[in-house]
Amino acid sequence: MDALGAHLLLELKECDAELLDDLPYVREILTRAVVEAGATIVGDTFHKFEPLGVTGIIAIAESHIGVHTWPEYSYAAADIFTCGESLRPYRAAELIIQGLRCGDPSITEIKRGMVVPRAVAAGLR
């Protein structure tokens, strides 16, 4: 079976709290991750919460990259959902982890859209 995409879930503990609350910086890190991973930006939206926190998503032709931050806990949750072969999602994850100065990252990969090729499904092997 083939997957249509990969979805990386990033648990980012022990991040730099000041960076997590800096919307322009968070936007810059996500944008750099998208570009260096080889994706194509089609739009984005970011929001600064009061008193703390940032959320943002970059829509890419290959799907999306998003982040939600909790500076008071030095924690961020990010996800990188990709389809296609050209994007390097682990490169994007590495750049986000480094950019947020994360001391305790973990990555879980989920295969999305597990499909059976049509010929196999039709019994035409």
Clarify whether 47 is annotated catalytic. no
Pairing of strands 63-70, 75-83: antiparallel
Q: Find residue 104's DSSP bridge partners.
A: 13
**Active-site residue, 68 included:** yes
Q: Using CA atoms, how far apart are residues 107 and 65, in angstroms rounded to an integer?
A: 14
| Catalytic residue list contains 86 | no
Given 63, 64, 74, 102, which residue is catalytic? 63
From 64, 68, 74, 102, the catalytic residue: 68
Task: Enumerate the active-site residues.
Answer: 63, 68, 83
